[in-house]
Amino acid sequence: EAEVAQSPRYKITEKSQAVAFWCDPISGHATLYWYRQILGQGPELLVQFQDESVVDDSQLPKDRFSAERLKGVDSTLKIQPAELGDSAMYLCASSFSDRPKNIQYFGAGTRLSVL
Amino acid sequence: GENVEQHPSTLSVQEGDSAVIKCTYSDSASNYFPWYKQELGKRPQLIIDIRSNVGEKKDQRIAVTLNKTAKHFSLHITETQPEDSAVYFCAAVKDRGSTLGRLYFGRGTQLTVWP
């Protein structure tokens, strides 16, 4: 069964450093989502792509976060500089399209710890 | 936006008992309601979903009900087993507007099933 791939699984960094996370969605999925999950809470959307275009980045802290999906396939989420409050699980999900009936499949996530 | 409230935050039951988790949503534009199960350290996985034109859906020991008028939906697990222990998230998805396809999650319910 195809899965959403994410790397790295764990990342420890010091504040003010730059970090990057990578996501490879299920083949053929046009819509890609990055979520942030703080311990004890539900995931919250950071950015949504439709193919290579950003369709929703209203919750992305654009002063330090950036995301790209240049060829409409895999995606990178970057934080620069990292802050203590960025410690969380970063989940990537993909779906066939953005229609509500299309199931979102999640990756295993990248757990970020900022020291 | 959309605000999804989920209760309870923790739930402990004896093996074989039933468990019920309740969610409410605020935006009448939401018309798709998935439930995800997240075991410790693992990715969220879809376990059941319901669309707004259906009042109830059942899959073996799991059922979901939806009351669109009251804007609430519930997850019911019967004959619980220890392997049902996990965090369960409800979510709502809109079918129109700028946030098409975006999952709005509840805060999660930690279900513990004691043998």
Distance from CA of A56 to the nearest CA of B (A): 7
Neighbours of B81 (CB within 10 A): 12
**Residue pair B66/B91 in contact by the 8 Å Cβ criterion:** no
CA–CA separation, B1 and B30 (whole Å): 10
pLDDT 10s digits, A72-99: 899 999 999 999 999 999 999 999 876 7
Residue B71: the pLDDT is 94
Amino acid at B75: L
Which residue in the set A31, A98, A108 is minimally distant from B43, CB to CB? A108
Distance from CA of B44 to the nearest CA of A (A): 6
The closest of A97, A96, A52, A43 to A73, measured between CA atoms, is A52
CA–CA separation, A51 and A103 (whole Å): 16
Residue B54 has pLDDT above 90, yes or no: no
CB contact under 8 A, B95 and A48: no
The closest of B24, B27, B26, B31 to B7, measured between CA atoms, is B24
Task: Locate the chain A residue with the closest alpha carbon to B105.
Answer: A42
CB contact under 8 A, B103 and A40: no
Residue B51 at interface with chain A, using a CB cutoff of 8 Å: yes
Residue A2: the pLDDT is 84
CB contact under 8 A, B46 and A103: yes
- List CB contacts (< 8 A) between B91 and chain A: 42
Best of A33, A38, A45 to substitute, by most chain B Cβ atoms within 10 angstroms, is: A45
Amino acid at A54: V
Residue A12: the pLDDT is 97
Neighbours of A1 (CB within 10 A): 4
Listed in sequence order, the residues at least 6 apart from B60 whose beta carbon sits closer than 8 Å to its beta carbon are none
pLDDT in tens, chain A (115 residues): 789 999 999 999 999 999 999 999 999 999 999 999 998 889 999 999 999 999 889 999 999 999 999 888 999 999 999 999 999 999 999 998 767 667 899 999 999 999 9
The sign of the CA dihedral A94, B87, B99, A84 is negative
Within 13 Å and on the Cβ side, how many CA atoms surround B82?
A: 2
Largest CA distance in chain B: 46
Average pLDDT of chain B to the nearest whole number: 92
Which residue in the set B32, B34, B107 is minimally distant from A42, CB to CB? B107
Three-point CA angle B81, B86, B92, nearest 5°: 115
CA–CA separation, B64 and B3 (whole Å): 19
Higher per-residue pLDDT: B13 or B102: B13
